[in-house]
Amino acid sequence: MRLRFSRANFLRMSAVLVLGVFLLGASDDSSRLDRLGHRMMCVCGCSQILMECNHVGCTYSETMRQELSSAIDAGKSDDDAILAGFVEKYGTTVLAAPTHSGFDRVAWFMPLVLLIVGVGGCVWIVHVWHRRHATAPAAAPAGLGADELNRFRDQARKETDL
Amino acid sequence: MPQIGSFLLLLALALSGYSFVFGLVALIRRDPAFVLIGETARRAGVASFVAVLFAAAILVHAAFTNDFSVAYIYQHSNRDLPAAYKFATLWSGQEGSLLFWSLLLSGYGFVLRLRHRTDERLFAHASVIMAGVQVFFFLLLNFAARPFSMTQGQIPLDGAGLNPLLQYPEMVIHPPMLYLGYVGFTVPFAFALGALIMKYPGDKWIHITRHWTMITWGFLSCGIALGAHWAYYVLGWGGYWGWDPVEIASLLPWLTGTAFLHSVMMQEKRGMLKTWNMWLIFITFGLCIFGTFLTRSGVVSSVHAFAQSSIGNWFIGFLAVIAATCVFFYLYNHSYLRTEHRLESLVSRESSFLFNNVLFLLICLVALSGTLFPIFSEWIQGHKVTVGPPYFNSVTVPFALLLLLLTAVGPLLAWRKTSLESLKRNFLWSTIGALLIGIILIATPASWGPPFGLRPRDDLGYFYSLLAAILAALVILTVFAEFLRGGRVISRHTGNNLLTSILQLGHRNTRRYGGYVVHIGVALVFIGVLGTPMNRSAEKEMGYGDTIQIGPYLLTSRSYTQEETPNYTGDKAIIDVTKDGEPVTTLYPENRMFTATQQPQHVPSVHSLLRGDLYVVFEGKNPETGRPIIKAHLNPLVPWLWLGVLVMLLGTVLALFPNAPPIRAVAPSTVRAVVHAPAGAGD
């Protein structure tokens, strides 16, 4: 039996699968301490994520983890407020990623802008080249000499070789 | 001896200077009288390698003989350092690593200059450019970072010792591999610039360049993977990639080099993207130099701080010279790079290469801008920000997944234009297979362990992991389908069995099928990475008999022991691991204190299975209670990452093998009759 694979069928199938992906099941609750701890850096200068700092005798990471744990235990429900407290105490470098405010937003926008420019530029180039190719007059097929035939054979070999 | 080393470095500078200046003169003056001068310049370049080789040997000799009158040896070695690490002293500090860099550069130049008969004029241009780069590094070694500087005052009895992080077997292999990759990109750069300068006719230079680039790319891939492996087994934080500026510095030229290895096919096959390819090589080489600047200048903070200094300005100056030279010759000779064909369809091999290149470049730009963002932030906002793993993971993973999609789709698209029928034929069953795998991963219970039970709804990381699993499966299935299809055709024609036919197929076009094997390796690497969101860890103070439960494993502390060597003293934990009451293994995580440097070092103990690693670290002792602290990580699927790297390297080696001679099809007798028709009959 041959499977019919029209574009409409493919789109329907994809939509069902994507929906399925989002509707099936739910994950375990991740630890808030772990999640917030992974959004901060240890400030001892090791350039490691707070929850991953493993220096023997590091005087910062353990204290910071305890402070974070205390803030969560104290019932602070706003993650951003907890992080702001750490920024106030340890400075802006305590956050492991730029914030979504002020100049920091540039860091988040840049990849998106680059993606749009890059892929958009690519599509545009292909489109322009394709249009030029389509409007170019077709070469006359008659009167091919041996040299030209050899050249075309060589081209065909190159283009089908890989 | 150190004085002889200094003299040899000066000699190497003079020889490479001669090679550059007189090689240049011989190229400019095409007079036959200058051919001899060109030959002397080539030989001077060859001799510069011998000089720097002896200089490096003298530094290694100084390490082995504990000659602490050399400041570099005093700073990076000590009497009790094991022999292998004494050898590694050569690249463990700023001055030594620059000497090692120069040695490899001169070594590449040596090979290039010995092979000059391949194409004398092109190789002469490349040799001069190589000599120019050599001059820069020898200037550094003679005036900015001298490896043979003498210790001030009284000569110490023992050295300060080697950084404990570097005292690991991979540190004897990782830097040479990485440097072979970094430095090796000078060769494609020299050929590309040489071809541009002389408006090299034909595309032979691109074949030569591609071959060198593949070798270099293989070394760089191996170096990066060894670095990740070293980070995993030495740094003890349970991860292998932390988006540190030094790591990113090695990734950037790898990305552009990979882009070049793809787009160069468009130039070879269709005469397209000539300007793009030229600039990809220039940028790749520039990124190698920029990466060196980044990691040694101290402009960004890095955990690899052992090689920072004030030589950044030298690199900035050199980068400016490279950029100016490339731009000048491009503007002067850009008409030489006119494309022969244009893209004809959005669904074609050419456009897939174009998108692939854009994505590689985008990842490169995003990683670079993220690395430099703290500097921009300080200029504009007046304060630094940290751009760490959460940022890089968020912004690069979507690009990487798109690339993985192209890895699956691109190789099976036809040149010029692909029909819908061909798409269906090539991808239908692979796509169905990959989607089925995705559904199985979602529908199975999480209790089966990763990667089963991937629920993408709550966590973006899980969603990415699911996509990565589906796309990796698609890559593997399409490649297998392609091997199978080609193997069947050969089997039908030759009568050999399918396996032999597949091997024959690979041997007939090693580059193509070696490339496919690399793609399988890439898919395996993605499988190794997709377990990351499911990582688990647990930490506990453990006395005798105490336990930690992590995933299905129960860890029980059996006892603790001490080890004493001349180089370090170590506390070792003996941990029994059981699963469902059955013994699995015994792990021995260790915490070492190095005698010379008085620095501690964790040595994790890992139980590795294809489903994941149980990774146990002796974190140290609680200063108040004196009880040992044990941290256990459960890292699903990580071994697939190392397996994937091995497969990638295997594919690279396969792609470097020469093709088997093509089999000439025998014309059927009826056709033969036409072929042997009287001359002129058909003309």
Write out the two tokens for B525. 């690497």
Neighbours of A77 (CB within 10 A): 8
How far away is chain B from the Cα of A73, in angstroms, using its nearest Cα?
19
Do A27 and B455 make contact, defined as CB atoms within 8 angstroms? Answer: yes
Do B344 and A92 make contact, defined as CB atoms within 8 angstroms? Answer: no
Q: Which residue out of B301, B386, B396, B454 would a mutagenesis test of the A interface target, given it has the greatest number of A Cβ atoms within 10 Å?
A: B386
> Rounded CA gap, B68 and B150, in Å?
9
What pLDDT was estimated at residue B670? 47
> Rounded CA gap, A125 and B351, in Å?
10
A158 neighbourhood in chain B, CB within 8 Å = 268-270
Q: Residue B602: enclosing H or E segment and its boundaries?
A: strand B600-603
Q: CB-CB: which of A94, A103, A122 is closest to B358?
A: A122
Which residues fall within 8 angstroms of residue B368, CB to CB, at 6 or more apart?
B248, B252
Mean pLDDT for the stretch of residues A50-77: 80
A135 neighbourhood in chain B, CB within 8 Å = none
What pLDDT was estimated at residue B295? 76
A122 neighbourhood in chain B, CB within 8 Å = 351, 354-355, 358
A61 neighbourhood in chain B, CB within 8 Å = none
> Is residue A152 very low, low, confident or very high in pLDDT (cuts 50, 70, 90)?
low
Separation in Å, CA B538 to CA B485, B613, B615: 48, 14, 11
What pLDDT was estimated at residue A38? 86
Q: Which residues of chain B have pLDDT under 70?
A: 297-309, 340-345, 457-458, 662-683
What pLDDT was estimated at residue A55? 66
Do B602 and A130 make contact, defined as CB atoms within 8 angstroms? Answer: no
Do B386 and A94 make contact, defined as CB atoms within 8 angstroms? Answer: yes
Q: Residue B41: enclosing H or E segment and its boundaries?
A: helix B33-64
What pLDDT was estimated at residue A12? 57
Mean pLDDT for the stretch of residues A122-146: 66
Tell me which amino acid residue B252 is: L
How far away is chain A from the Cα of B428, in angstroms, using its nearest Cα?
8
Indicate if the pLDDT at residue A138 is higher than 60. Answer: no
pLDDT tens-place string over residues B58-98 = 999 999 998 888 888 988 888 888 888 888 888 888 888 89
Give the residue ranges of DSSP H helices in B203-333.
Answer: 204-230, 245-270, 274-297, 312-333
> Rounded CA gap, B76 and B78, in Å?
7
What pLDDT was estimated at residue B154? 83
pTM of the model: 0.85
What pLDDT was estimated at residue B362? 93
Give the residue from B181, B166, B167 showing the smallest Cα distance to B303: B166
pLDDT tens-place string over residues B211-237 = 889 999 999 999 999 989 988 888 777
How far away is chain A from the Cα of B13, in angstroms, using its nearest Cα?
38
What pLDDT was estimated at residue A23? 41
How far away is chain A from the Cα of B11, in angstroms, using its nearest Cα?
41
Neighbours of B389 (CB within 10 A): 19
Higher-confidence position of A134 and A63: A63
Indicate if the pLDDT at residue A6 is higher than 70. Answer: no
Do B302 and A26 make contact, defined as CB atoms within 8 angstroms? Answer: no
What pLDDT was estimated at residue B562? 87
Give the residue ranges of DSSP H helices in chain A.
Answer: 7-23, 32-37, 61-73, 79-90, 105-135, 146-161
**Ordered strands of the B628-636 beta sheet:** B536-541, B628-636, B612-621, B605-609
Do A127 and B346 make contact, defined as CB atoms within 8 angstroms? Answer: yes
Q: CB-CB: which of B270, B455, B620 is closest to A25?
A: B455
- Closest-approach residue (CA) in chain A for B301: A47
Bridge partners of residue B503, in order along the sequence: none
B600 neighbourhood in chain A, CB within 8 Å = 56-57
What pLDDT was estimated at residue A26? 38
B383 neighbourhood in chain A, CB within 8 Å = 91-92
